[in-house]
Amino acid sequence: MRRICLTLPTNRACAETISAIGEEADYAADRFGVEVHLLILDSSGQQTFAEHARVVGEGRRAPQVIVHHLDEAEQRDFLRRVIRRSGVVQPDLMLDLMLPAGVSYGACTNRAFLIAAALGCRSVHRRDSDSTYQVLNGETVFPVHHELLSLGKTAADAVDGVSETVLAPEHAPKPVVMVGSSFVGELSVDIGEMARLDPGVHHDVVSLWAPRHWSDEQKRDLVDESFKGAGTDPFTGDHSILTLVDPMRVDMCNISFLDQVYERVPLPPATDTIGSDYFLMHLVHDGRLPGVLHNRNIVNYYTAERRTDAGFMAYQLRLTKFFLSMLYFNRIYDRMAAAGDSLTDENFHVRPEAVAESARESAGADRDENVHRLDVLHRSYRKLGGRYAEFADLLVSRGRRLLDEAQSDIEDFALLTEAWHPLVEASGSTGLHGSRTSAGIHGASTSAGVHRPGRQTVPGSPSCA
């Protein structure tokens, strides 16, 4: 039976989301006959974790759904055993990159990738804790429907399961390695207020995403479509396209990848940086690998914490670091686009050495472009006044440090990419920290007993979630 990993990383209270994703797991198991490993990677505080555990424990899941609710201690235990088994150099650094002290969207998803390998899953399907599902005529609209219709099939075989195909015949033998959609609701990045206060400042800030050499017209087009997802139109019926999916059309709250992508290349583990988890979308597109873009968009909303002054400052810092990271990622994306089909081998597996080489090369980029970005941000935030001006003061005091962090983040990505293969291999022969009777595992079977053909599974020690 095919195994999939439906995962929800979280560091906040999200009991309703956990209940809803449990229903999506049931839907996948009942409709498609797959074994679903619902993986909740929970970095929230003790009281919130306990509430989540109560929701998990009270859930009545389908027989083929196994729930793994892991706190950070359990995640760290699993990672330590994997790192030790892998024999990678700098094991302490690897643990920091996989489970850093700061918020890292890439690292939390990388942990899901390694755990999925340990569980013998063929695919990872990711959702977010600050989102929910649409409903049509009383029925919840689950993205996993389209994901399981196509993921893993050859493009030729996937044609019958989509509404339309926009794919050259040369791609017919390739596997569909990514299926995703976007979101409706609030902007994915909290800059709506900025646009209302001063559209000119909003343009100047968002255009920092682009390479410095882009024309004014190119930058305007980027600003016009950035962070808006699929808008606000509600779901009225299914539509899906088999294509080379544009990374601008999908979001990480609504995405799935086949193992032959995420078991080859990790996500950048940068901390306090939005967008660090979007890299594989670009890799799939530039490697000319087929995907499906569907319209079961998830509903995005802002949590209460985002509205506080502390939440505002933290988020604007993550946005700043995103802009600084683009000095390096724009160079990587250019190289990947030029490489095209050579990013994959004869079996259509992505080539990690090509990614690592591009990352290392980009790390040597001249910082002048990022100095310019910081200058524009400082001037723009200062102009808006209020708490934006307070953030401008923070940029002055931390500017050099932010420049250093952006460069070291890309160097860490290259290092992790080079170590990724032995980490994945070690995960495939390392039991998840749990057993049939442990409190952290809920379902009809034990995680310690599942394995992928050709990989030995060694049971882990009992869990104490």
- Give pLDDT, residue 330: 96
In a domain, 425, yes or no: yes
Instruction: Please give the residue that has the higher pLDDT: either 129 or 410.
Output: 410
Answer yes or no: is 36 within a domain: yes
| pLDDT tier at 300, thresholds 50, 70, 90 | confident
Indicate whether 463 belongs to any domain.
Answer: no
Does the residue 306 lie in any domain?
Answer: yes
308 within a domain of the structure (yes/no): yes
Tell me how far apart the alpha carbons of residues 377 and 195 are, in angstroms, rounded to a whole number: 14
Tokens of 139: 């029925």
The answer to the question of residue 465 being in a domain is: no
Which backbone phi and psi does 273 adopt, to 5 degrees?
-140, 115
The DSSP bridge pattern shows strands 134-136 and 291-294 to be: unpaired
Confidence of residue 110 (pLDDT cuts 50, 70, 90): very high
Total domains, the chain? 1
C-alpha distances in Å from residue 39, one per residue of 15, 22, 229, 237, 421: 14, 10, 25, 29, 22
Please give the residue range of the domain that contains residue 67.
Answer: 3-449
**DSSP secondary structure, 95-119, as one string:** HHHHS-SS--HHHHHHHHHHHHHHH
Bridge partners, 70 (sequence order): 41
pTM recorded for the entire structure = 0.92
Is 461 inside any structural domain? no
- Residues with Cβ within 8 Å of residue 435, at least 6 apart in sequence: 441, 446, 447, 448, 459, 460, 462, 463
pLDDT of residue 456: 29
Which amino acid, residue 393? D
Q: 366-423 pLDDT, tens per residue?
A: 999 999 999 999 999 999 999 999 999 999 999 999 999 999 999 999 999 999 999 9
Region of residue 433 (left: phi > 0; alpha: psi -120 to 50; beta: else): beta
Q: Is the dihedral of CA 118, 123, 128, 134 positive or negative?
A: negative
pLDDT score at 86: 98
In this prediction, residue 309 carries a pLDDT of 81
What is the number of other CB atoms lying within 10 angstroms of the CB of residue 375?
Answer: 12
Phi-psi region of 221 (alpha: psi -120 to 50; beta: other; left: phi over 0): alpha
To the nearest whole number, what is the mean pLDDT of the chain? 90
In a domain, 455, yes or no: no
Residue 459 has pLDDT above 90, yes or no: no
In this structure, the number of other CB atoms found within 10 A of the CB of residue 235 comes to 18
> Over the stretch 348-361, which tens digit does the pLDDT of each residue have?
999 999 999 999 99
- Tally the residues of the chain: 465
